[in-house]
Amino acid sequence: MSAHVVFEAAVVRMVAAGAVDRARVTEVDGGEVLRVHAAPGDGAVVLRTTPDEPVAGARVHCVVDGADVVCLDESLRPLPVTVIPEHADVFDRVRGVFETDILRDRAVAVLGLGSGGSVVVRELARSGVGRFLLVDHDRLEVGNVCRHECGLADVGRLKTNAVRELILDRNPDAEVTTLDLRISSETVDELTAAIKAAGVDVVVCATDNRESRLLVNRLCVLAGLPALFAGVFRRAYGGQVLRYLPGLTPCYQCFVSAVPAMANDREIASAEQAHRIAYSDRPVAVEPGLAADIAPIALMMAKLTTQELLAGTATTLASLNEDLVAPLYLWLNRREAETDYAALPPMATGVDTMSVLRWYGIDLPRDIHCPACGTPAVEGVEPTADLDTSDFRA
């Protein structure tokens, strides 16, 4: 047998400490790779077994001596061993850009774990963000897979749980709290409590309907929390990212008032919306659009989130703060017919004119009469008055 034995770092630690001396061994690639897992309370020596039944007569003997692991096959020949590194080593390549331990203690709430939210989570986990609150009510469907970070193996599962595993596969030390909840006026108090309990630093709002975004917006205004709101235009011909910094930038409600056309140009996210815009008896697909067209918006969300989490620390990314000063960012994937951008000149090789496939920072005024963030000094305006979302539901 020529197996390669892969140990989880935690197993080595537990075995060395005498906390476990028997672990479960999973065979991968027809037994070429043996992966060793353990949990406190497991039994004696490491045996080669499948998860369900022991493989008789084919034992692997492993000895953990301090940081060293030695494994022998049944003929007592040594086997190659890999120990999965711990947090500090996993993020070795990120070190030098910023101190990864800074992000280890930062917490991000990601609301909506669809094709955009799951990509934001993946990027933040890979950067070393250590604490997540994941909120979604949905289960992964076959139709999601071509654009989602999770694949067919996760179909039928709650997106929260599937995405949680995605994080732990990159950062085994991450703390991930999940909340299976549909964001509505009935559940917003529960969401607020969870965000408070998780000590969230930044809220990433990647939900697919405006009512939830307005509720999240109000929550963040009241809590004084920075937030990012993503929007993907229909068929993902482009999208925008709104960055809300309490007291400094317009909020999502201000944005909706200032540029209603952009705010209305939404991706088709539900069967009901698809039915409404259908121009024939032929059904319109929900959320048509390529993952590659959604990715730029998700990556911008991840970048802005990271800048926010690193605020006030010395990093090589600090110069970006001078670039990323706009409250609103626009990205166009193509010159979509029947839009304001249809007549743009082709990108070609110039840099003088607006074109597709580039980010644009857009200034946006705060609305002093905004029902969510407007100043209370304005006559007759309560800053936290109930939002009128009726016209957005139509």
CB of 188 to Zn ion, least distance (A): 17
Site string for Zn ion, 186-205 (x = CB under 5 A): --------------------
For Cα atoms 173, 174, 177, give the angle at the middle one, nearest 5 degrees.
135
Nearer to Zn ion, 161 or 253 (CB): 253
The residue with its CB nearest to Zn ion is 370
Q: 97 and 138 in contact (C-beta within 8 Å)?
A: no
Answer yes or no whether residue 370 interacts with Zn ion by CB under 5 A: yes
Q: Where does this chain touch Zn ion (CB under 5 A) — which range of 74-82, 97-105, 250-258, 262-270?
A: 250-258
Q: Considering the complex, state which of residue 116 and residue 327 has its C-beta at the smaller distance from Zn ion.
A: 327
Bridge partners of 328, per DSSP, are 242, 362
The owner of tokens 């043996």 is 34
Residue 373 binds Zn ion (CB under 5 A): yes
For residues 140 and 114, give the distance between their C-alpha atoms in angstroms, rounded to a whole number: 9
Q: Which of 209, 253, 305, 307 binds Zn ion (CB under 5 A)?
A: 253
Q: Between 353 and 375, whose beta carbon lies closer to Zn ion?
A: 375
Tell me the H-state helices in the chain.
Answer: 9-16, 87-90, 100-104, 117-127, 159-170, 188-197, 210-223, 252-258, 260-264, 271-277, 291-309, 320-323, 390-393
Question: Residue 253 or 307: which CB sits closer to Zn ion?
Answer: 253
Q: How many residues of this chain interact with Zn ion, rule: CB under 5 A? A: 6
Give 229 or 329: the residue with its C-beta nearer to Zn ion: 229
C-alpha to C-alpha distance for 257 and 39, rounded to whole angstroms? 54
> How far apart are CB 368 and Zn ion at their closest, in Å?
9
Pairing of strands 61-65, 68-72: antiparallel
Stretch that binds Zn ion, among 101-109, 116-124, 351-359, 369-377 (CB under 5 A): 369-377
Neighbours of 79 (CB within 10 A): 17
Closest CA to 187 of 156, 219, 139: 219
User: 133: helix, coil or strand?
Assistant: strand
Site stretch for Zn ion (CB under 5 A), options 58-66, 80-88, 180-188, 249-257? 249-257
Report CA dihedral (204, 209, 211, 216) to the nearest 10 degrees: -10
Nearer to Zn ion, 178 or 253 (CB): 253
Q: According to CB under 5 A, which one of 150, 166, 216, 251 is a site residue for Zn ion?
A: 251
For the CB of residue 266, give the shortest distance to Zn ion in the complex, in Å. 19
Which residues inside 254-293 make contact with Zn ion, applying CB under 5 A?
254
Beta carbon nearer to Zn ion, 3 or 258: 258
Rounded to whole angstroms, how far apart are CA atoms 198 and 144? Answer: 28
236, 241, 372, 387: residue in contact with Zn ion (rule CB under 5 A): 372
Interacting residues toward Zn ion by CB under 5 A = 251, 253-254, 370, 372-373
